[in-house]
Amino acid sequence: MKYSEFPYKRLTVDSQNALMMDWLVRFEGAESAEDQITVLEEVDDASREYASYVSIASLNFSRNINDEAAKSEKDYYDSIGPDIQEVYNKLDQAVDASRFKADLTEKWGATFLKKIEMELKTFDPKIMDMLRKETDLRNEYTKLTAGAKIEFDGKSYNLAGLGPFHTHEDRDFRKRSYAARFQWFEENANQFDDLYDKLVKLRHEIATTLGYKNFVELGYLRMGRSDYGPDEVANFRKQIVDHVVPIVTKMLEQKKAILGLDHLYFYDGINFKEGDPKPKGTPEELVAGAQEMYHELSPETGEFFDIMVNEELMDLVNREGKRPGGFCTSFPKYDRPYIFSNFNGTDHDITVLTHEAGHAFQCYSSRKQPLVSYLWPTMESAEIHSMSMEFFTWPWMKRFFKEETDRFKYKHIAGSLSFLPYGACVDHFQHWVYENPEATPKDRKNKWLELESIYLPNRDYDDIEFPKSGGIWQGQLHIYQMPFYYIDYTLAQTCAFQFWIKSEENREEAWSDYVRLCKAGGSLPFTGLVELAGLELPFDDGCLESVVEKVSNWLDSVNVSSL
């Protein structure tokens, strides 16, 4: 079946409620664990169906944001989200009170009940209206940023359209493109401040209504983190400051040499004088190259990628009306993932074919997991699959970058490493924000600057006012829309680097560890998955230090003048 043939319909709250009444009666009246398991398996089938329709509705809208019919389907599913949560919350409560919990754990492992326990801690019918408000505010942020019209050199661009100019080889051009970008943020500063202020206060109110001191604990629960908390994360951030920041500073010295500049400003984000490496070939050629690559990589990936191609489960090339960005989604009822992206001729096109395909490969590999809640892991684990696949495909990068392959690899490693301090900065900032819900927009900007001086001490915005006054984070979607979703990338990167190191030493073993990890899906929490994959836990003292040392040695071994 091709994507376009997947059945889709609108499910109503009433129909789901009716099903739930029946399940609840049967579940609560069950005489044996088997009877409860039968009910939960029916619920699981229904959840797969619901989740698939939500994904289809959202994806179709992303594929064409001007399609009114697609928009109304997405709006429909957005609007019933909290009601459906309320319906399923009743079952979660019944499961939590079951006298057969030990048998349920034996059947599905401890993660099943743990997830339900956490779910219960994040919801109460009392907060439904606030949840609806939160969705509206999130959508307002999307609308504000997606609607940007920025005049630059006589033409009008949106934020994504302006993006490629920020890495233009002409320095003055780069700077002016950033100035135009931040001018737009400056003009909308009140709206950005106001929106975030409302979100922070609303989330604080949701948290206190549920009985929490502030939003931090609830934020962790929403991210499904059952096995670590703010203390472990704070310790990890400290390791980034101690071990990564100095190396990034050293790398920037290397970059000055590559670019032939005395001083680096924020807008000098390019890697090479002539600009960044570009993939060689048309989108069709790149996909054909990826198909060959995945066949050579392993039988599993070959089979997977054939399905992606044959069943039309990818929409890769940029076109008018498509939502910007790239992501992977899935339709659990049909056992299939989907990759969405906007190819625009940059090296990022290849990263989509490796990063998003890593997510999709994991989702495909875990399709035999017995529960829909086990298909995807929590985010810090999910990003291990994607970021590691970027490294596992290194031997084939020659196919895409030809004579620019070494440049691509250098950029890939240097970029991955310098991302860590930024990721930690975003995370630290969010902890402070939710611990201080009464802070003013001005306080937040000052705090950001203070944190920047710790994590990104080399940043110099020159005379560009908006970022200089501490507002740059307002362009980071996660901060508005997915609180606390960010440290995930840095934890996953630390694991992906381990796979990279391992695959250089013993590729076969590294690959089999990776496949095992993918198949496990979300059946274990982060720490359990890391152990299953034979990796060191990023929180452990010494882990990051030893990983970074190897990455740094590799960077030192590169003869940058030959790139």
**Contact positions toward Zn ion, by CB under 5 A?**
386
State the distance between the two ends of the chain, measured CA to CA, in whole angstroms: 46
Handedness of CA 113, 116, 121, 125 (dihedral sign): negative
Contact 225, 524 (CB under 8 A): no
Q: At what angle do helices 230-239 and 543-557 cross, to 10 degrees?
A: 30
| Minimum gap (Å) between residue 115 Cβ and Zn ion | 21
> In a 10 Å sphere around its CB, with 0-12 CB exposed, 13-18 middle and 19+ buried, how is residue 505 labelled?
exposed
Q: Give the nearer residue to Zn ion in terms of CB position, either 95 or 517.
A: 517
Q: Give the nearer residue to Zn ion in terms of CB position, either 301 or 362.
A: 362
| Minimum gap (Å) between residue 538 Cβ and Zn ion | 17
| Minimum gap (Å) between residue 362 Cβ and Zn ion | 10
Q: Give the nearer residue to Zn ion in terms of CB position, either 134 or 356.
A: 356
Q: Give the nearer residue to Zn ion in terms of CB position, either 212 or 394.
A: 394
| Minimum gap (Å) between residue 371 Cβ and Zn ion | 22
Say how far apart CA 404 and CA 272 lie, in whole Å: 11
Q: Give the nearer residue to Zn ion in terms of CB position, either 373 or 386.
A: 386
Say how far apart CA 120 and CA 483 lie, in whole Å: 19
The residue number whose beta carbon is nearest to Zn ion equals 386
Q: Give the nearer residue to Zn ion in terms of CB position, either 329 or 386.
A: 386
Contact 42, 55 (CB under 8 A): no
For residue 92 the two structure tokens come to: 């979660």
| Minimum gap (Å) between residue 95 Cβ and Zn ion | 31
Q: Give the nearer residue to Zn ion in terms of CB position, either 111 or 386.
A: 386
| Minimum gap (Å) between residue 533 Cβ and Zn ion | 17
| Minimum gap (Å) between residue 359 Cβ and Zn ion | 6
Say how far apart CA 361 and CA 336 lie, in whole Å: 10
Say how far apart CA 38 and CA 258 lie, in whole Å: 63
Say how far apart CA 300 and CA 279 lie, in whole Å: 25
Contacts of 134 (CB under 8 A, 6+ apart): 199, 202, 203, 206
